[in-house]
């Protein structure tokens, strides 16, 4: 039975596995993917891997859909308030976006039924469908068009660099580099802490050795005093014996 608690490292590893095996994850047999990921994670069963994948993907898609109409959710251009929100509500959003951003249509297409009027949230206009046809479109295309035609708060045209960033999100390799950098930082912290511990340990040993030397010195002085006292006692006894012999002679 697998461990129910997921560590940060295990979650990052699972995201890394999804990114490295995205085709198998989305088009292959899911049970094989979950079993393979479970083998890599060792402490997690295939069922636990499946549940965590669903949880991560669901949270990502939920916030991606909420942010897509505003153009947020791209790391390079997000304001700090959006980043703080995602850090609390969807911690692994940016890592998941590097995997799913260019692969999935996060917001489902809108199909207009005959005689139905839809309100375009991007431009604030109404659109009507003909009685003989329906129109479907992808949210990703809407986002690109909205980003290219929208204006900032000060009235200046939207930046084309934002369109390019939406069209071509950072590759999975960037996430792997960031994970490697995090591991290196953690390793450096552990090494520094270990060196500090060893320095404190050495200082304590040196202090202990100094106390031990002082103790030996005191014992040596005590033995010298005892030896002198014993020598004096022997000399005194020798004189007393000479006096006794002199009396009897």
126-140 pLDDT, tens digit each: 444 433 333 333 444
Q: pTM here?
A: 0.39
The band of 229, judged by pLDDT with boundaries at 50, 70 and 90, is very high
CA distance 61 to 54: 10
Nearest C-alpha neighbor of 57 from the set 10, 20, 90, 23: 90
Q: Mean pLDDT in the chain?
A: 74
Helices (H), 110-171: 139-149, 160-167
Output the pLDDT for position 63: 85
Q: What is the dihedral of CA 56, 61, 66, 72, to 10 degrees?
A: 90
- Which of 154 and 205 is assigned the larger pLDDT? 205
Read off the pLDDT of each residue in 154-183 and give the average, rounded to a whole number.
61
Q: Indicate the angle between helix axes 46-68 and 30-41, nearest 10 degrees.
A: 110
Angle at CA 172, nearest 5°, toward 36 and 8?
60
54-94 pLDDT, tens digit each: 999 998 898 888 877 666 555 556 677 777 888 788 888 88
The band of 117, judged by pLDDT with boundaries at 50, 70 and 90, is very low
CA distance 131 to 118: 14
174-224 pLDDT, tens digit each: 777 788 888 889 889 999 998 999 999 999 999 999 999 999 999 999 999
Residues 6+ apart with CB under 8 A from 72: 78, 79, 82
The band of 113, judged by pLDDT with boundaries at 50, 70 and 90, is very low
Q: What distances in angstroms separate CA 234 from CA 190, 228, 230, 240, 244, one per listed residue?
A: 65, 10, 6, 10, 15
């Amino acid at each position: 039975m697998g461990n129910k608690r997921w560590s940060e490292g295990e979650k990052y590893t699972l995201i890394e596995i999804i990114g490295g095996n995205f085709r198998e994850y989305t088009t292959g047999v899911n049970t094989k993917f979950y079993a393979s990921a479970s083998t890599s994670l060792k402490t997690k069963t295939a069922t636990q891997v499946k549940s965590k994948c669903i949880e991560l993907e669901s949270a990502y898609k939920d916030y991606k859909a909420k942010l897509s109409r505003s153009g947020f959710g791209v790391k390079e251009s997000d304001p700090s308030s959006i980043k703080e929100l995602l850090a609390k509500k969807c911690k692994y959003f940016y890592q998941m976006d590097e995997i799913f951003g260019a692969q999935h249509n996060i917001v489902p297409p809108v199909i207009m039924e005959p005689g139905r009027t839809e309100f375009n949230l991007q431009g604030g206009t109404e659109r009507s469908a003909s009685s003989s046809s329906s129109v479907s479109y992808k949210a990703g295309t809407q986002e690109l068009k909205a980003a290219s035609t929208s204006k900032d708060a000060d009235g200046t045209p939207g930046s084309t660099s934002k369109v390019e960033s939406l069209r071509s999100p950072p590759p999975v390799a960037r996430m792997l580099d960031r994970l490697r950098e995090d591991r290196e930082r953690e390793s450096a912290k552990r090494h520094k802490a270990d060196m500090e511990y060893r320095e404190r340990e050495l200082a304590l040993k040196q202090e202990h050795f100094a106390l031990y030397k002082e103790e030996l010195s005191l014992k040596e002085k005590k033995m010298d005093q005892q030896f002198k006292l014993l020598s004096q006692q022997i000399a005194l006894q020798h004189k007393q014996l000479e006096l006794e012999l002199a009396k009897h002679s």
